[in-house]
Amino acid sequence: MAIRNVLKEGDELLRKRSKPVTVFDERLAILLDDMKETMREENGAGIAAPQVGVLRRAVIIDYEGETTELINPVISNEDGVVIAAEGCLSVDSKKNCNVARPYKLTCTAQDRDGKPVVIEAEGWKARIICHEVDHLNGILFIDKAYKEPPNATPQNQGTKASDEPPNGTPQNQGTEAGDNADGNKGKKTDG
């Protein structure tokens, strides 16, 4: 395995749409192993192939110590809305900001051998999947920075923090971007 260089915002490759993976070979396995090592080195919660300069639809998510490889991921059955702060290995942490994501979703994909994978994800895990799949479409989280509606009331700001599990991260219980920037004590929030 090898640590690969993570592209930073401004690199045009991060803005391109990645192509489907069609060959499930040793080369893909090496890419995934390198992505995993790079994600861990950078203390990320996820990583997408375009972040290491490979425009293929492959992502890895790391949730509660468990890594999941998702090849050609497709999101469906999105439900609910959670507003919480995000960061990204490819974006300066000064730009961390709130993003609205579905509370839960289904992700169908393939594993590194091409076998079908179906994941039902909620909360922070769903957020990581959305963030990484956005990378495959050339979208960065800063493109989706959440702005409070001018007439927002506490009831319609959309956060479902109370639905989060009691051991949820501070990042997904709050709606203040500063909660993340200031309270991030080594917790992996970036992808």
Just list the catalytic residues.
Answer: 132
- Say whether residue 44 binds Zn ion (CB under 5 A): no
- Say whether residue 60 binds Zn ion (CB under 5 A): no
| Cα separations in angstroms, 42 against 39, 56, 90, 132, 186 | 5, 21, 10, 15, 11
CB of 142 to Zn ion, least distance (A): 10
Q: Which tokens sit at 25?
A: 């070979």
- Say whether residue 61 binds Zn ion (CB under 5 A): no
Which residues fall within 8 angstroms of residue 107, CB to CB, at 6 or more apart? 70, 73, 74, 75, 76, 117, 118, 119, 121, 129, 133
Binding region for Zn ion (CB under 5 A) out of 6-14, 87-95, 120-128, 167-175: 87-95
CB of 137 to Zn ion, least distance (A): 12
Instruction: Name the residue among 77, 42, 45 with its Cα closest to residue 63.
Output: 45
- Say whether residue 191 binds Zn ion (CB under 5 A): yes
Spatial distance between the Cα atoms of 24 and 41, rounded to a whole number of angstroms: 25
- Say whether residue 88 binds Zn ion (CB under 5 A): yes
CB of 117 to Zn ion, least distance (A): 21
CB of 3 to Zn ion, least distance (A): 17
Binding region for Zn ion (CB under 5 A) out of 6-14, 52-60, 80-88, 172-180: 80-88
> Residue 145 or residue 163: which is nearer to Zn ion going by CB?
145
> Residue 174 or residue 191: which is nearer to Zn ion going by CB?
191
CB of 156 to Zn ion, least distance (A): 28
- Say whether residue 102 binds Zn ion (CB under 5 A): no
> Residue 5 or residue 151: which is nearer to Zn ion going by CB?
5
Taking a C-beta distance cutoff of 8 angstroms, is the pair 134, 59 a contact? no
Residues at the interface with Zn ion (CB under 5 A): 88, 191
